[in-house]
Structure 1
Amino acid sequence: MKKNRLLIALFALMLLVLSACGNSNTKEAAAKEKKTAGKPAPTQMILATTTSTQDSGLLDVIIPMFEKQNNVKVKVVAVGTGEALAMGTKGEADALLVHAPAAEKAVVDAGDAINYKRVMYNDFVLVGPKENPAGVSGDDINAAFKKLAETKATFVSRGDDSGTNKKELAIWTTVNIKPSGTWYVSTGQGMGQTLQVAAEKKGYVLTDRATWLAQAKNLDTLKIVVEGGKDLMNIYHVMQVNPDKHKNINSTDAKKFVEFMINPKTQDVIENFGKKEYGRSLFIKYTE
């Protein structure tokens, strides 16, 4: 009899505990649902940017920060700088993060973009086969390009009107050479893919340092052969598309994004990005 009473008491205690847990879970769920219901849906913003900010991994760090701070969902369109700027002139993006100053200035001067700010920089480097058949070296990129053309060493170009492609073409123009022939290969692809093609063909390629550092572990047939020239600086700017000229632009979040990119806290994140993994910053903060 006593045993039955004990079992009944234990059963009742179990029911009480389960009931308490159930009420607690219900209250927590209700509180969570109330909190979620009270939070507005995130706004939507389109960022057109160069592939180097994506291929380097930088966007994977800074975009979630911006989204969390501002309750916004960012759609990133990573293309060549030329295409990103074209999206801005057509009103197909809200903000731009690119690296071709001369082309950017034309867009700003035309009134298609406003709130133009310098954000960061790194540099361009010439990468080539470890055997370096053309024998290029040092920091003189113009001399290196002349030698590549003379020796008809395989050169792989992005050929996509990106900031890097624009820089490459500007160097060829400076040395009065119009590259053509089987030695000059145009991929029409982003920096990461173009580096892969250069590795496969054992060719030379101009790249931004950030993408090179991020991809180098998969490119064991290549190495940096020319770097450090004063004319190889690679500057990135951010801007918002002008809502007065283009309808349906999310100017509120675009403005916030520009302010976010030049904020000292974000600048510190940019400055420290890559230090632990690569032993140096992939981008250097450079605010105005």
Structure 2
Amino acid sequence: MKFNKLNLLILLILLTLPLVTACSNGSEPAPAEEPAPVEEPEAADEYEELTNTELILATTTSTENSGLLDFILPIFNEMFGIETKVVAVGTGAALQMGVDGEADVILAHAKANEEELVANGDTLERFDVMYNDFIIVGPPSDPAGLSENAPADVNAGYALIAENQAPFVSRGDNSGTHIMELSLWESSGVGAPSEDWYVEAGQGMGDVILMASEMEAYTMTDRATYLAMKDDVELDIVLEGDETLFNQYGVMAVNPDKGDHINYPAAERFVDWILAPETQELIAEFGVEEYGEPLFFPNAK
């Protein structure tokens, strides 16, 4: 019996020795580490809740006169359940609507002026959307001889118009087209025209094209609006291709800090949508079937 009890005592000591050693070193065994929680990525298409379904889009007359907005906007409206109210005015007036907080988003074509709004905090970031070009159109008789003597030199063309005192209809509305036109009179050496042959219409592009046709006058227009109207007017392209006539369009959301009335959630959707590859493809397709060439060339980055 003693032998058995001794053996049992030795066995118990051997079994409890690791526990005594662990406690005697003054530290407790480290608990098992739990795996760190995995953070869910934010959905790319997640927007702020849309409580106001009306979007005010301030834009230039060329996007409306050309038919582009009628072509693409119904898709946007249906996709997001938004009713877009288009205010088509000269670019200067469209930009002023942004400054005054009278629009939610702006689509215009006077890049330097647009960037001023961003710098001043009136709008958020500006993005390139698409481009086309300006052209000079005039009566088929081309009395100032632009198509023969200055087919691709806009400064020479403007000088010929002034030299021959050929009628010219200006938009005269502080639009992107008007701003470009005024800069070209200066660069051509003519300065600011004020003679009787120079008519300031104070109208949008479509109306100016009609006036120029009726008056057998020259005017500068974006190519898209002219192509959309060329079958209804007696005007030909007499000057094109000068790199100065590049016409870039941009989009920007109005700064929501201007007030609670600014519908930034809808504006954000519009900006993302018009820059998306699918919409850029739509823009590239517009005009090809009817005119044989696109009216705008998408270039969103």
Bucket of the pairwise TM-score, normalised by the shorter protein? 0.7 to 0.9
1:94 is matched by which residue type in structure 2? D
**Deviation of residue 245 (structure 1)?**
3.5
In structure 2, what is the Cα distance between the partners aligned to 1:241 and 1:41? 18
The 5-angstrom pairing of residues 128-277 of structure 1 reads 128-137=138-147, 138-176=151-189, 177-219=191-233, 221-277=234-290
From 82, 86, 100, the counterpart of 1:72: 82
In structure 2, what is the Cα distance between the partners aligned to 1:107 and 1:245? 13
SS at match of 1:244: helix
From 84, 88, 101, the counterpart of 2:94: 84
**Deviation of residue 174 (structure 1)?**
1.3
- TM-score, length-normalised on structure 2? 0.81
Assess if the C-alpha contact under 8 Å between 2:115 and 2:126 holds in 1: no
In structure 2, what is the Cα distance between the partners aligned to 1:167 and 1:252? 33
**Deviation of residue 42 (structure 1)?**
6.8
Deviations 1:173-231 (A, max 9, x none): 21232201110011100000000000000000000000000000001x21000001111
- The answer to whether residue 108 in structure 2 is matched with residue 98 in structure 1 is yes
Higher helix share: 1
**Deviation of residue 61 (structure 1)?**
1.3
1:81 is matched by which residue type in structure 2? T
In structure 1, what is the Cα distance between the partners aligned to 2:110 and 2:69? 18
Instruction: Give unmatched runs, 5+ long, in structure 1.
Output: 1-39
Kindly tell me the number of residue pairs found equivalent between the two proteins.
Answer: 248
Instruction: Give 4+ residue runs of structure 1 displaced > 4 Å after superposition.
Output: none
**Deviation of residue 102 (structure 1)?**
1.2
In structure 1, what is the Cα distance between the partners aligned to 2:67 and 2:246? 20
In structure 2, what is the Cα distance between the partners aligned to 1:131 and 1:54? 30
From 118, 126, 138, the counterpart of 1:108: 118
- TM-score, length-normalised on structure 1? 0.84
2:66 is matched by which residue type in structure 1? S
**Deviation of residue 41 (structure 1)?**
8.6
SS at match of 2:136: strand
Q: What is the identity percentage for the equivalent residue pairs of Structure 1 and Structure 2?
A: 50
- The answer to whether residue 45 in structure 2 is matched with residue 45 in structure 1 is no
2:105 is matched by which residue type in structure 1? A
Deviations 1:67-124 (A, max 9, x none): 0010110100000000000000000000000000111111111110113110000000
Deviations 1:27-46 (A, max 9, x none): xxxxxxxxxxxxx9971110
Question: Which structure is larger by alpha-carbon Rg, 1 or 2?
Answer: 2
**Deviation of residue 255 (structure 1)?**
0.7
Assess if the C-alpha contact under 8 Å between 1:155 and 1:205 holds in 2: yes
In structure 1, what is the Cα distance between the partners aligned to 2:134 and 2:258? 34
What residue number does 1:18 align with?
A: none
In structure 1, what is the Cα distance between the partners aligned to 2:199 and 2:281? 38
**Deviation of residue 244 (structure 1)?**
1.8
SS at match of 1:199: helix
1:103 is matched by which residue type in structure 2? N
What residue number does 1:282 align with?
A: 295
**Deviation of residue 147 (structure 1)?**
0.9
CA RMSD, Structure 1 to Structure 2 (Å):
1.2
